[in-house]
Amino acid sequence: MTILRGKTVLLTGASRGIGRVIARLVAAESATLVCVARSQPGLDDLREEIRSSGGSVESIAWDLSEISSLPQLINQVKTQVGPVDILINNAGIEIYRAFQDYTTSELQTVLNVNLLAVMELTRLVLPGMIQRKSGHIVNIASNAAKKGHPFDSAYSASKAGLLMWADAIRQELIDSGVEVSSICPGYVEQCGMMVDTGIPAPKLAGASTPEAVAAAVVRAIQANQAEVVVNKDVVSGGISKLLFALCQFFPRWGDTVYRAIGIPQLNQLRIHQQTERQQGPTPELIGNQITTTSG
């Protein structure tokens, strides 16, 4: 069992959504937090909240899509706080499109933030963890990594890559003292795309809470769990796991189930809504893009 007390935890995508809730819960476990996000005002607000509750936290505003800058980020963390004991890769971005409508730049942005930044941050902190024979990498993947989400294919690809990469390095790191956990949330209420679009999840899909996802992250660290599916049925995601397993054997059956649930229709509606907002006098979303820290 891993104890969070006294550990230095680097958390990306911390300023909003799931990341903000994870930050509160990790701080409550008496860890020293280093929160990273693009939004300086969001980080300032979170830092003040955690410190006022007696927690230990530092914050650094950084654009994770700039992969070549990440060594400087890790050096700054080491200078300000010390070596990273636990890395929680939570930052993520979704851009809803029919695949042929993506630009090369959009594809690169999704893959950089959701996959390459995670791999690079891990590559940078891993030697110290291995030397100390102690550490934990937690990746916020998604149920979209288990079964592709149409009209959100770039995100699905990035999260599936994240899940399989984590599975591979977990095997590499066996007996090293370094653990790797993947958290796969379904739709999450009160944050990310649910708030940005104002469109609820399909009723048959259900939605979990950010608190349930954050609790799953802490449990995965404490119990050294390899993978956790978080969905409405139960935190263990038992029904969801069965569905994903069946989809591996019967992919077209899975396609039919997803259409019945309404997942393709939901994402098409998001594209339509974003287009309308972009064309309106005061668009809330620019470039038909949604950024999120959810799975």
Write out pLDDT tens, residues 112-142.
999 999 999 999 999 999 999 999 999 999 9
Confidence label for 81 from pLDDT (cuts 50, 70 and 90): very high
Look at residue 105 and tell me if it is in a domain: yes
Look up the domain containing 126 and give its range: 8-292
pLDDT confidence tier of residue 43, bands split at 50, 70 and 90: very high
Establish if 285 belongs to a structural domain: yes
Q: Is residue 12 part of a domain?
A: yes
pLDDT of 46 higher than 80: yes
Q: Which of 32, 87, 81 is nearest to 64 (CA)?
A: 87
- Predicted local distance difference test score (pLDDT) of residue 196: 62
d(CA 37, CA 60): 7
Structural domain includes residue 282: yes
Q: Is 90 exceeded by the pLDDT of residue 267?
A: no
Q: Could you tell me the CATH number of the domain that includes residue 112? A: 3.40.50.720
Quickly state the pLDDT bin for 208 (edges 50, 70, 90): confident
Average pLDDT for 189-207: 69
Q: Does residue 258 have an active-site annotation?
A: no
The answer to whether the CB of 7 falls within 8 A of the CB of 218 is no
Number of domains making up the chain: 1
**Which single residue is written with the structure tokens 């972009």?**
278
- For tokens 């609790």, name the residue: 215
Residue of 96, 155, 187, 258 marked active site: 155
Q: pLDDT at residue 293 above 50?
A: no
Question: Residue 287 pLDDT > 50, yes or no?
Answer: no
In a domain, 1, yes or no: no
Q: What is the pTM of this model?
A: 0.86
Match 């064309």 to its residue by tokens.
Answer: 279
> What pLDDT does 281 receive?
38
- Residue position matching structure tokens 């006294």: 6
Q: For residue 258, what pLDDT is reported? A: 86
Q: In this structure, is residue 278 part of a structural domain?
A: yes
Among 258, 284, 260, 257, CA closest to 270:
284
